[in-house]
Amino acid sequence: MPKVALIMGSKSDWPSLKGCVDVLKKFEIEVEVHVASAHRTPETVAVFAANARENGFVIIAAAGKAAHLAGVIAGHTTLPVIGIPVKSSFMDGLDSLLSTVQMPTGIPVATVAVGGGDNAAYLAAQMLSIKYPILAEKLLAHREQMAAAIEADDRQIQDEV
């Protein structure tokens, strides 16, 4: 069964991450959600990351401000890590984006947009679809639904013009 772990650096990040969990559940991907801090609980983060492969996870890590969580996790595992920079009270999330995306060579973090939890979930589903073809089918069906919605919007606008 496909599994994703969503780790957030602070409980205050949760409201901006609910959509990520909703998307994962929509695709019937098992999700575990935890709060762990790269700075305040570094041992917890290291142990989680070191055991993530054995536990079968793709990892999504969300953090604001210094936003080192995804990078610290990536440093402790060879699994893919998807980083979500969380908008904080400073710099509209630019600080979080730069902290998440600027990784040293050999320790990559796939980074989505600031607050891009939904896209992190879609990216995780795409990664898992390599092993689970049913997810590829669900992703294709979702894209077809999105295309149909845009076509309906176009028809509506054309009718108004």
- Supply the pTM of this predicted model: 0.94
pLDDT of residue 90: 74
CB 70 within 8 A of CB 61: yes
**Phi, psi dihedrals of residue 78, rounded to the nearest 5°:** -100, 5
Count CB-CB contacts under 10 A for residue 32.
13
pLDDT (tens digit per residue) in 76-87: 999 999 999 999
pLDDT of residue 16: 87
In this structure, what token pair is assigned to residue 148? 């149909």
Amino acid letter at 114?
V
Task: Write the CB contacts of 41 (distance below 8 Å, at least 6 apart in sequence).
Answer: none
pLDDT (tens digit per residue) in 110-138: 999 999 999 999 999 999 999 999 999 99
CA distance 11 to 45: 15
pLDDT (tens digit per residue) in 11-47: 999 998 999 999 999 999 999 999 999 999 999 999 9
CB 1 within 8 A of CB 58: no
CA distance 126 to 115: 19
**Phi, psi dihedrals of residue 149, rounded to the nearest 5°:** -65, -40
Q: What is the DSSP string of 74-133?
A: HHT-SS-EEEEEEP-SSGGGHHHHHHHH---TT---EE--TT-HHHHHHHHHHHHTTT-H
* b/e burial code for range 68-85 (CB count within 10 A of at least 16 → b): bbbbbbbbbbebbbbbbb
